[in-house]
Amino acid sequence: MDFFANMITGFSVALEPMNLVFCFIGVFIGTLIGVLPGIGPVGTMAILLPVTYGIPPTTAIIMLSGIYYGAQYGGSTTSILVGIPGEAASVITTIDGYQMALQGRAGPALGIAAFGSFIAGTIGIIGMQLLAPPLVSVALRFGPPEYFSLMILGLVILTYLAQKSMAKALMMAGVGILLGTVGLDTMTGTPRFTAGVPELLDGVGIAPLAMGLFGISEILLNVERKFKLEIVTTELKHLFPSAKDWGESIGPILRSSVVGFFLGILPGGGAVLASFVTYGMEKRLSKTPEQFGKGAIAGVAAPESANNAAAQGAFIPLLTLGIPANVVMGMLLGALMIHNIVPGPMMIKNHPDLFWGVIASMYVGNVMLLILNLPLIGLWVKLLQVPYSILFPMILFICLLGGYVINNSTTDLYLMLLFGVVGYLMRKFDYEPAPLILAYVLSSLLENALRQSLILSGGSLQIFVTRPISVGCLVLSLILLVSSILPWIRDRRRMLVDQAEEAT
């Protein structure tokens, strides 16, 4: 009964004209940036954060969420037609998708990617609806020590999955926490690391930081390389996969949806991990594993379903615990905080319209995406032909404009440029910005949880190891840290990284 009552609440919000429009804008922009290589969902959400200041929070989250799951649809188009991933979660799709396109089967590849995404997205949303309420009741039993340890676990998993050096990724998490402490200390009112700049009393803003690290720095890196996209321009026909294609794909789609969804919930996980894991899984389960890498349709169906299901699953920790599972969710948390909404177990009760509205909007968004990505596929193919020399000046200009209007001050723009240059150098030196930004978002939550725990225990650190959930998270973190040092695991990790690099 509750299920339906909640859905009615949700749909009455999601179907409001304004929310419909912003949902469409979100999924449209999501598909767009998913298709275009060189700009990802994090950068786009950062650029659009200033836009969300002027609209109601529910509408803002509906739009930003649309960008994220929309990008999972769009990313496949570029992977299949060009052979380079439009988006990180579509890296693995390039292997079989591009082979299919070369064999003149671009149509079924695009079709199965879109249908798989739709089915997985829907399964993911149903999963969210079923899992979120019971998780909320568990989350209500979480005290500060549990929150603290869970956040540590999230950061450790994220750095464990870092593509390059784990030491560097951990270091970046440290830098993120440090950056998050800039500004007034919320408990004592003491200014920290502001260097006498009054604008920094409020802290380093998430918009200039994320726009710099993900927007500006990517532009700086991309203009150094002159890349030209070579699109497979066979006629796109038979978008609707044949019965044989369906037969080979439906199993992988359903399995990958479920696995992807649960991998998405995992703190530090997300769409990228899900696509890699399910590809490997399906290859192992397949009766014809030798076809993988040579244009197997299951090799497209599995990762494309998994990344969509994971994109939905990733919302669960944010909406129930208030802890972002990955960087994109970190951006959403930032957006909610701008509107003075603290996500967590109380949100479902205090803001049911927002909670169920956002979930219902995902059903609507998924239908919009199916329409956008199948009948309108030609539009995106045309867009792929727009050269980067036209795109990047526009992206740069919008970054600069968005960065200014938040506070009407050029201080944010200077910060953005600074972080842009820092991000550029970081990538040159093989440091990943994702752990930095996630740690930055978690910093104040982490500090509050730490302080409250210590006050609660009268200064004893034992509080973190005497509570079962807390100690479980910490032990798991420790296992991951130690295992990454063990030589055979380290070598295996490196091998996977090399494979991923070769795949791109």
Partner 1 sequence: MNSDRLGSMFWFALGAISIYGSVRLGLGTTGEPGSGFLPFTAGVFICLMALLVFLQSFGSGRRLQRGLATLWEGVYWRRSLAIGVLTLAYILTLETLGFFLTGFLLLVIIMRGLERLDWKKTLIISIVTLTVSYVVFKIFLKATLPVGVLGF
CA 429, distance to chain mean position in Å, is 23
- Which residue's CB is nearer to partner 1, number 294 or number 492? 492
CB of 68 to partner 1, least distance (A): 21
What kind and span of H or E run contains 284? helix 271-285
Whether 329 and 311 have beta carbons less than 8 Å apart is answered as no
Tokens 């090799």 -> residue: 299
Number of residues that bind partner 1 (CB under 8 A): 65
Among 7, 15, 20, 51, binds partner 1 (CB under 8 A): 51
CA distance 293 to 278: 14
Written as six digits, the tokens of 315 are 């919302």
Task: Tell me the residue type at 294.
Answer: K
Is position 160 an interface residue for partner 1 (rule: CB under 8 A)? no
- 58 secondary structure, DSSP code: H
Q: Which residues contact 239 (CB under 8 A, 6 or more apart)?
A: 107, 108, 110, 111, 114, 374, 377
Is position 489 an interface residue for partner 1 (rule: CB under 8 A)? no
* Segment contacting partner 1 by CB under 8 A, of 122-130, 184-192, 243-251, 306-314: 184-192
* Segment contacting partner 1 by CB under 8 A, of 37-45, 311-319, 334-342, 426-434: 426-434
Is position 479 an interface residue for partner 1 (rule: CB under 8 A)? no
For residues 395 to 424, the per-residue mask of contacts with partner 1, x marking binding by CB under 8 A and - elsewhere, is: -xxx-xx--xx--x-x--xx--x--xx--x
Among 455, 465, 475, 479, binds partner 1 (CB under 8 A): 455
For residues 96 to 135, the per-residue mask of contacts with partner 1, x marking binding by CB under 8 A and - elsewhere, is: ----------------------------------------
- Closest by CA position to 67, among listed 369, 461, 282: 369
Q: How many helices (H) and strands (E) does the chain have?
A: 24, 2
- Closest by CA position to 306, among listed 266, 277, 336, 275: 275
- Closest by CA position to 434, among listed 195, 310, 270: 270
Tokens 């859905």 -> residue: 7
Is position 168 an interface residue for partner 1 (rule: CB under 8 A)? yes
CB of 148 to partner 1, least distance (A): 11
* Segment contacting partner 1 by CB under 8 A, of 80-88, 144-152, 179-187, 314-322: 179-187
Written as six digits, the tokens of 226 are 């002159």
CA angle 75, 76, 78 (to 5 degrees): 75
Is position 165 an interface residue for partner 1 (rule: CB under 8 A)? yes
Whether 329 and 315 have beta carbons less than 8 Å apart is answered as yes
**Interface residues toward partner 1, by CB under 8 A:** 50-51, 53-54, 164-165, 167-168, 170-171, 174-175, 177-178, 181, 185, 187-188, 190, 192-193, 216, 219-221, 223-226, 389-390, 392-394, 396-398, 400-401, 404-405, 408, 410, 413-414, 417, 420-421, 424, 428-431, 443, 446-447, 450-451, 454-455, 458-461, 494
